[in-house]
């Protein structure tokens, strides 16, 4: 809902020239809302909603695995996802907000839209926690696909949807630690 509200705010502001909602003194809020909208849609709609939600529902149907496999890891990943959402909202309301529209990397941001350390720290910690949540969900998918199939279902005869989830979950487990390393580098650049 909050991603949709920010999307509507951006569209109202772009409806015509001039300022509709955002005051002329605080033009950085528009850049912050664009960055926050991107993070909300990727880490809170696409990853948990589409990948986790539809994946959890359809994977047990396609594989014939017992319905009981999911509640362990996914409940924990949903709990820490709410903590990540709290950090993202804190990054919006603390100091000047984090986000310059195109980049979050502090040396590339101009002095007009300089990043405040507390809001950028909150944003980076929120993204790190959502990355941990995505890793746990991907690990749950891999375990379910590889170990909890029906006895007659081999990898060769498995439908395309579990294969797509298997490849996507494997790629997420390979790339998310690299993303978190990059975010920690940004955080250490911000502190120096």
Q: How many CB atoms lie within 10 A of CB 15?
A: 9
Q: How far is CA 83 from CA 69, 80, 130, in A?
A: 24, 5, 9
Query: Alpha-carbon distance 115 to 38, whole Å?
Result: 18
126 found inside a domain: yes
178 found inside a domain: yes
SS3 174: helix
For the chain, the domain total comes to: 1
| Chain centroid to CA 88 | 10
95 found inside a domain: yes
**Residue 79 belongs to domain spanning:** 27-191
Q: How many CB atoms lie within 10 A of CB 142?
A: 16
Phi/psi at 100 (nearest 5 deg)?
-115, 20
For residue 110, the model assigns a pLDDT of: 46
For residue 167, the model assigns a pLDDT of: 92
80 found inside a domain: yes
For residue 111, the model assigns a pLDDT of: 45
Query: Alpha-carbon distance 29 to 13, whole Å?
Result: 11
Q: Flag residues of the chain having pLDDT under 50.
A: 101-102, 109-112
Q: At what angle do helices 71-93 and 117-147 cross, to 10 degrees?
A: 160
For residue 102, the model assigns a pLDDT of: 46
137 found inside a domain: yes
Contact call for residues 80 and 128 (beta carbons, < 8 A):
no
């Amino acid at each position: 809902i909050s991603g949709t509200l920010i999307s509507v705010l951006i569209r109202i502001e772009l409806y015509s020239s001039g300022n509709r909602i955002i005051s002329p003194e605080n033009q950085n809020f528009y850049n912050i809302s664009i960055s926050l909208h991107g993070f909300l849609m990727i880490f809170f709609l696409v990853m948990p909603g589409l990948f986790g939600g539809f994946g959890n529902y359809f994977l047990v149907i396609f594989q014939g695995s017992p319905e009981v496999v999911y509640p362990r890891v996914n409940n924990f990943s949903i709990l820490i996802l709410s903590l990540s959402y709290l950090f993202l909202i804190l990054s919006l309301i603390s100091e000047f907000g984090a986000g310059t529209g195109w980049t979050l990397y502090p040396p590339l941001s101009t002095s007009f839209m300089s990043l405040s350390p507390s809001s950028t720290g909150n944003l980076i910690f929120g993204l790190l926690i959502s990355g941990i949540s995505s890793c746990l969900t991907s690990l749950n998918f891999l375990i379910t696909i590889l170990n909890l199939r029906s006895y007659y279902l081999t990898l060769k005869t498995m439908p395309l949807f579990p294969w797509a989830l298997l490849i996507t979950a494997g790629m997420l487990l390979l790339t998310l630690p690299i993303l978190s390393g990059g975010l920690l580098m940004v955080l250490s650049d911000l502190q120096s």
